[in-house]
Structure 1
């Protein structure tokens, strides 16, 4: 009996080891798309995300956890999580080939066809704080807990320069952001096909940087005649030129302390992808190296913050700030082209905004609604307030609570 138990335990250890090795390997989904099993979030884990982890996420917010407690539907299904790597190209670099990564989350509900929601993540200061490294991305965990646990497939691109990508961070770089998201959507379809799952209606959502990315991605999907059933955003910087100019030339006491990191990362991204030498022209010499190290992930946010200013305009040269006054040089002209709201959107769209958002002014968040009305696009584009106390994080949580049942309505 003792010998039998020993052999049984040895067999179990070998089985677990083999399973671990299998789950760690990439599987071929065809056409240079590969996917790797990460883990499964069970219902208990998904409940924890919507409670204890959400409470921690909202620590310090103007609308703490108590404002949202009990407002999410209890998770129904465990969710399998996969990291996907796929081939893409970089438009700003002459369609240079590259490899990017993203997440596919599949509910374990026994169905062979499910709706899919593509999520565009917000600003991060760590290379792996992205969907395919989901344990480091609270915003993605929330998407999985809200949508995937209820029967939606959730996907999300990491963007070029994040996740497994070896490229420079493509922070708010327009064509690269679109390309990463479009190719990730195609890659996700191949992963689903490999798992004998059909994609149902497509939805899209995004927060912060991802709100802007989601809008320019949505416009690209409409250009490609890829149907999107409905779209949402939260705290979207719809007009890049106005948003950046506001950061540089009109500091407000309520501005987030991490806006300087956004500003210098954006400048370095434009330097690397479109305007060589821009960073040296824009950033004061005493801050150039620390900003460069931060952009390249050589130092973390705390180190960056300790060595720089808490106001973006204090780190930038007078000449660069002045160039935004008329906004007529190549850099500012390019930012004008980054607007993500001036078209007659065919897709039902809701832009959520917070009246106490420390990053995105209400005026910018509501641009799509007003513009769409002026263009005669009908009433399918709406801006909805998350409330007078809603800051950046609270706006995102509010959007999740309200966009999910709105999406559900299109499935009936």
Structure 2
């Protein structure tokens, strides 16, 4: 009897494991798009994100958790999370075919049509700290807890070189960033169709690197006449040439200690996608290997920090930095083309900024508002401060809290 009982338990365990494995396999969504169930964030998990996990995320911020506690609407729906795999091309490499990944988060509310937010994630120093590995990405978890738990579908591209991608990290590479986001949006629609869900009104949001990506992506969507109801960014470095020059030539005590890592990752990305040999010209020989290893995810941030210097101008070659004074070399001309605000934006837009942001100066974050005021369209594009004490992380949290009811207003 005991032997038969143990045999039955073993069969049940095997059956459960097999079902779990089957449920986690990729399914076809049509058009070479595949999707894989990751997990479901239940209400307990969603509440934890908005409480203890947010408290940890804001540890050390100039605006800790107490500034935001109690300002979130309680989650209403559990959320199913799917990793999406889709085909794309790399514009900078003659449209080389590639495979990219991203996230689709679907509220379990029983509705067959919902609004959708395309979220562009910020700078990461780990290959899987991105939307399709949501538990490694606090910013993605915030979008799920604030938007998806209230009935919005949330999607996000991982960008080329992150997630399952085998490409080099496409950090702030303009056309590749646009392409990854655009094809992810199309892939998400396939996944929704496969689940008998219609995509409702489209909104877009992004933070930090994702703020810049969100702006250039928005311009791309408008150029293709794909309607976006409203858009927002947080701490968006909308002018690449200005911010890189500021980081190199005007160090400030407020500057984040990890800015050199951003700078060298940016240079290596341009080396891989635009100008082979750039990194060797730009980075001092004694720091080149550490920067290369970090860009390729072979070492972590603490190791990089221990092997390099704390200020960007200490890591870069003076001769390279001098080329930015006149900015007439191809590298600097490419940075000029990275601007993501000089077009007549027709989408209602809010750019959130922090007065104590250690990454993006207020001047740069407010450029879209000033530009559109000059063009006579200022009322459509606004810059809103997250507060005098708002640093980089606090600006993002402030944006998520405040942009949700603003997006909601367009659905009434």
| 1:13-52 → structure 2 map (5 Å cutoff) | 13-52=13-52
Counterpart position of 1:210: 210
Q: Deviations over 1:117-162 (max 9, x none)?
A: 0000000000110000111111101110000000000000000000
Q: Deviations over 1:13-56 (max 9, x none)?
A: 23421221112210000111000000000000000000000000
Give the TM-score, by structure 2 length: 0.98
Counterpart position of 1:335: 335
Contact 1:268 1:292 in 2 (8 A): yes
SS state of the match for residue 237, structure 2?
A: coil
The answer as to 2:180 corresponding to 1:180 is yes
Q: CA deviation at 1:285?
A: 0.5
CA distance in structure 1 between the partners assigned to 2:15 and 2:347 by the alignment: 49
Q: Which runs of 5+ in 2 are unaligned?
A: none
Contact 2:231 2:348 in 1 (8 A): yes
SS state of the match for residue 363, structure 1?
A: helix
SS state of the match for residue 40, structure 2?
A: strand
Counterpart position of 2:104: 104
Counterpart position of 2:247: 247
Counterpart position of 1:189: 189
Contact 1:23 1:38 in 2 (8 A): no
Q: CA deviation at 1:398?
A: 0.2
CA distance in structure 2 between the partners assigned to 1:187 and 1:230 by the alignment: 21
RMSD over aligned CA atoms reads: 1.1
CA distance in structure 2 between the partners assigned to 1:78 and 1:385 by the alignment: 32
Counterpart position of 2:306: 306
Counterpart position of 1:156: 156
The answer as to 2:186 corresponding to 1:171 is no
CA distance in structure 1 between the partners assigned to 2:138 and 2:96 by the alignment: 32
Q: CA deviation at 1:242?
A: 0.1
Counterpart position of 2:259: 259
The answer as to 2:392 corresponding to 1:380 is no
Give the TM-score, by structure 1 length: 0.98
Counterpart position of 1:364: 364
Q: Deviations over 1:84-141 (max 9, x none)?
A: 0100000000000000000000000000100000000000000110000111111101
CA distance in structure 1 between the partners assigned to 2:262 and 2:141 by the alignment: 23
Contact 2:89 2:95 in 1 (8 A): yes
Q: CA deviation at 1:9?
A: 3.5
CA distance in structure 2 between the partners assigned to 1:215 and 1:364 by the alignment: 13
Q: CA deviation at 1:166?
A: 0.2
Q: CA deviation at 1:232?
A: 0.5
The count of residues paired between Structure 1 and Structure 2 equals 412
Contact 1:349 1:380 in 2 (8 A): yes
CA distance in structure 2 between the partners assigned to 1:63 and 1:250 by the alignment: 25
CA distance in structure 1 between the partners assigned to 2:220 and 2:340 by the alignment: 10
Contact 2:369 2:378 in 1 (8 A): no
SS state of the match for residue 201, structure 1?
A: strand
SS state of the match for residue 306, structure 1?
A: helix
CA distance in structure 2 between the partners assigned to 1:5 and 1:118 by the alignment: 50
CA distance in structure 1 between the partners assigned to 2:212 and 2:378 by the alignment: 22
CA distance in structure 1 between the partners assigned to 2:65 and 2:72 by the alignment: 12
Counterpart position of 2:133: 133
Q: Deviations over 1:352-401 (max 9, x none)?
A: 00000000000000000010111122411000000000000000000000
Counterpart position of 1:91: 91
Contact 1:229 1:410 in 2 (8 A): yes
Counterpart position of 1:61: 61
Counterpart position of 1:79: 79
Q: Which runs of 5+ in 1 are unaligned?
A: none
CA distance in structure 1 between the partners assigned to 2:203 and 2:8 by the alignment: 48
CA distance in structure 2 between the partners assigned to 1:153 and 1:12 by the alignment: 35
9-18 vs 396-405, which moves further: 9-18
CA distance in structure 1 between the partners assigned to 2:109 and 2:131 by the alignment: 22
Counterpart position of 2:324: 324
